[in-house]
Structure 1
Amino acid sequence: MTVSSVVLNVAALSDTGLTRTANEDSVLAASPVFLVADGMGGHEAGDRASAAVVAAFEPLAGATIEVDDVREALGRAAEVVEGIAAEHKRGAGSTVSGVALLEHEGTPHWLLFNVGDSRVYRHHGNELTQLTIDHSLGQELVDAGELRPEDLATFAQRNVITRAIGGPDSTADSWLLPVIDGERLLVCSDGLTGEVSDEGIRAMLTMNGRPETAAAALIRRALHAGGRDNVSVVVIDVVSGGSRTRPADDGTAGLAAASALTDSMLEGTTIPVRVR
């Protein structure tokens, strides 16, 4: 199996929401890279920050890529966003979460990468698994045992993030996961997860067959729940070309460290890739 044999169906949607005047989210869905960036810093600064992240990854569209290509794109994004932040009193930054399709040990894999609180989920069968771990104050409190996971959704400071592209810490976490036939990946901004529970997301992904139908249903659900933020989603279905079954030791990424595949080459944009 090679990356070129993988067949995907993909849909991407972004909505300003019901209370914001501008959309500070940016989306890229151009195989082999799929990502969502959520800009911060207010109108213009946030817009530019998330657009800069997408622009840094656009040269990878249509290419055969390796881990280093993603690292270098993150480095380009951080450099540009830092420049944007310097131009604005409030600063600027952006989250980014996404997946890149590449070959590892002769088989297709997803390279997941994440900075901030945008997320990547995997839907397989009827199960939904959050693959990324938020870089947020709320998640840190959960990890420290000071906040119950079930209270995270109502935590007043849940939107305070601890890492961002262009911020003091822009370190990206990443993992390599095998591509599985029949799986559905969701990349989304917190405009979705702040309005819709994981169970609600799971239900929408289960009940809606085509990616474009599922993406539209997720956006509608977030708007119906209040639409208090920009909301962006990328839905990726693996039609064929991946593994037929999930490896027995393949668990939720981010919950435990595995062997490091590569070390940092760019300070502030480290992606310590772990193989799961």
Structure 2
Amino acid sequence: MSKAGFANTVSLTFESFGLSHRGRVRQINEDGFLMDPASGVWLVADGMGGHDAGEVASASIVEQMSGLTAVHSAPELLAQFEDRIARAHSKIRRLSTARGGVTIGSTVAALLAFDGRYACLWSGDSRIYLVRDGAITQVSRDHSEVQELLDRGMIDPAEAQSWPRRNVITRAIGVTEDVEIDAMQSETLPGDVFVLNTDGLTAHVSDEEIREAVTGHSAQQSCEHLLELVLSRGATDNVTVVIVKVHEAETTRRGTNGPF
């Protein structure tokens, strides 16, 4: 378990825990994750590409994001994140070129937290959920073929669950010439729980089950329970879960310094 407080104007602490498993079908684990509470960064990544390239792609994102330097503002943290993602993107592109132009890439779903604000950034179908006041919301929006079909009204949610190409994604780091990533931001509140996961979780576990798993339990207990659920249901893909629980520190809150 990782816990860290920020020396800033908002007295919040972050309790986080992460797990990754190759599942019961895949031979290798192409997922990766990072937890850096001191910097205010958590992320999951799901690699794609044959001959271990997917593993290299997700590892490139984790490696580039490791060891962020100290920042003094939310915009500075965001800029540093974007710079590191761009470096990982370039590295993956070079690997693709070296292997004859084969498609290599990785999803990413990241949470940044600083001065009482958070930003969620994502590319691909790895997800970010927020559980607040007993309700669960999917913050990210899948970049996937099945999501596009849902948006166009061509299939309904029930059909989406069994859609034969539900794992086809439309964005990933390293795949297109430029980095394509979506973002949203808002205020962080005590009691918030963020769940970052690769699609190996949501292939077997519902949003309601995620909400139940994180309610009233530690980040570690929640992660372990969700992994047990996936494994008990076949675990057809790699699965990675990172849970971040926000607590109010004993010191008095004094406001925020502004948005990302």
TM norm. shorter chain > 0.5: yes
1:8-53 deviation line (CA, Å, top 9, x unaligned): 1110110110011110001101121100000001342011000001
Amino acid at match of 2:211: R
1:2 aligns with 2:8: yes
User: Corresponding residue for 2:85?
Assistant: 74
Change (3 A) 1:51 1:126: same
Whether 2:164 is the aligned partner of 1:164: answer: no
Structure 1 residue 131 and structure 2 residue 143: aligned? no
What is the count of residue pairs matched by the alignment? 242
Matched, 1:16 2:22: yes
Q: Deviations over 1:135-179 (max 9, x none)?
A: 000001111111212321111111000000011264100011211
Q: Which moved more, 1:2-11 or 1:189-198?
A: 2-11
Equivalent residue, structure 2, for 1:26: 32
Cα separation, 1, equivalents of 2:109 and 2:136: 17
- C-alpha displacement of 1:3: 6.2
TM-score normalised by structure 1 residue count: 0.81
Give the letter for the 2:110 counterpart: G
> What's the counterpart of residue 227 of structure 1?
235
Question: Contact 1:30–1:61 (CA<8 Å) still a contact in 2?
Answer: no
Say yes or no: does 1:151 pair with 2:162: no
Q: Distance in 2 between matches of 1:101 and 1:44?
A: 32
Residues 192 and 232 in structure 1, CA contact (< 8 A), matched pair in contact too: yes
Distance, in Å, in 1 between the alignment partners of 2:192 and 2:151 is 28
Q: Secondary structure at the match of 1:112?
A: strand
Contact 2:57/2:106 (8 A) holds in 1: yes
Residue 61 of structure 1 and its aligned partner are, at CA, apart by 6.5
Are residue 210 (structure 1) and residue 206 (structure 2) matched? no
5+ unaligned residues in a row in structure 1: which ranges?
A: 245-273
One-letter identity of the residue aligned with 1:182: G
Distance 2:66 2:203 in 1: 28
Q: Secondary structure at the match of 2:28?
A: coil
Say whether residues 1:118 and 2:155 are aligned partners.
no
Q: Which runs of 5+ in 2 are unaligned?
A: 1-6, 254-258
Q: Which has the higher contact order (CA 8 A, sep 6+)?
A: 2
For 2:203 and 2:48, the matched residues in 1 are separated by 16
Q: Percent identity?
A: 34
Runs of 4+ in 1 over 4 A off after TM superposition: 61-65, 241-244
Aligned-residue CA RMSD (Å): 2.4
- 1:203-259 alpha-carbon deviations (Å, 9 max, x no partner): 2222x5100000001111111111010000100000115999xxxxxxxxxxxxxxx
TM-score (norm 2): 0.86
